[in-house]
């Protein structure tokens, strides 16, 4: 039995894949692998985004992204807990720009996370009593060109709260504080260096959390290192 040879009687086409692949490991400042970090890869063509993909790192901090277009791509870590409750968390470094050749498999694109900073504060009423169960919402956290929605942080029995995972350059555009028995407070342009915060809430006459603006209040000598805010 004879088999037809390639090229006899029909056209044969060979298609070479031009997609690239990227892999690497995400570690913290102590060089330990970090699981659950979202890795984002994007590419733009002619000013419009043409590719966008994301994966989460595995138990050993590793990730692998395939079918990435060749050319210039941007890779960054999107730390889901960049604004976390009660712990410092991690902060992501600036995005990396890669030039990928057609069909290239770029290994060891490693990312090292920074240690997050904390913003701490205490919430009290006008009688100086702590307010428990209030919701502290870092609505928009800006780090460079990256915007994130922060997690809601409740105040504890002593009126304390901690917002973790902030970088040195992170800024909370709007920090809203709400409790059904008090007027809402909105603070703007808050950084980790703004703390520790001492915040005073006014009793709400309508119990509907009317929005108020926070103003700088006078500080006693024992509180001279603590920014103190009062609803007006």
What DSSP string runs through 12-78? --------EEEEEEEE-TTS-B-SS-EEEEEEEETTEEEEEEEEE--TTSEEEEEEEPSEEEEEEEE
CA dist 227 and 224 (Å) reads 8
Say if residues 119 and 166 touch (Cβ distance below 8 Å): yes
The domain spans of the chain are: 20-114, 116-231
Domain 20-114 identical in fold to domain 116-231 = yes
pLDDT for the residue numbered 124 = 95
Across the chain, mean pLDDT equals 78
* CATH class entry, domain 20-114: mainly beta
pLDDT for the residue numbered 145 = 58
- Among 23-27, 47-51, 55-59, 154-158, name the one with the lowest average pLDDT: 47-51
Q: Which H or E run includes 79?
A: none
123-135 pLDDT tens trace: 999 999 999 999 9
Q: Which fold has domain 116-231?
A: Immunoglobulin-like (2.60.40)
Give the pair of three-digit tokens for residue 191: 């950084």
Percent of the chain with pLDDT over 90: 38
For residue 200, name the pLDDT band (cuts at 50, 70, 90): very high
pLDDT at 16 over 90: no
187-198 pLDDT tens trace: 998 888 888 999
pLDDT at 95 over 80: yes
How many Cβ atoms from other residues are within 10 Å of residue 88's Cβ? 16
The predicted model scores a pTM of: 0.53
């Amino acid at each position: 039995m004879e088999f037809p040879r390639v090229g006899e009687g029909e056209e044969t086409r060979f298609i070479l894949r031009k997609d690239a692949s990227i892999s690497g490991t995400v570690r913290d400042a102590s060089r330990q692998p970090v699981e659950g970090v979202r890795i984002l890869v994007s590419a733009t063509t002619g000013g419009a985004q043409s590719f966008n993909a994301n994966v989460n790192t595995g138990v050993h901090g590793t990730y692998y992204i395939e079918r990435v277009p060749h050319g210039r791509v941007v890779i960054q870590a999107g730390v889901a807990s960049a604004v976390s409750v009660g712990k410092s968390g991690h902060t992501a470094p600036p995005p990396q720009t890669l030039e990928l050749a057609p069909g290239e498999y770029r290994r060891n694109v490693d990312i090292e996370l920074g240690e997050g900073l904390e913003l701490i504060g205490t919430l009290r009423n006008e009688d100086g009593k702590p307010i428990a169960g209030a919701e502290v919402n870092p609505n928009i956290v800006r780090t460079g060109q990256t915007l994130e929605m922060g997690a809601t942080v409740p105040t504890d029995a002593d009126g304390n709260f901690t917002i973790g995972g902030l970088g040195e350059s992170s800024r909370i555009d709007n920090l809203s504080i709400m409790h059904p028995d008090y007027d809402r407070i909105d603070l703007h342009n808050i950084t980790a260096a703004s703390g520790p915060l001492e915040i005073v809430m006014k009793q709400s006459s309508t119990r509907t959390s009317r929005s108020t603006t926070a103003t700088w209040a006078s500080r006693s000598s024992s509180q001279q290192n603590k920014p103190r805010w009062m609803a007006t």
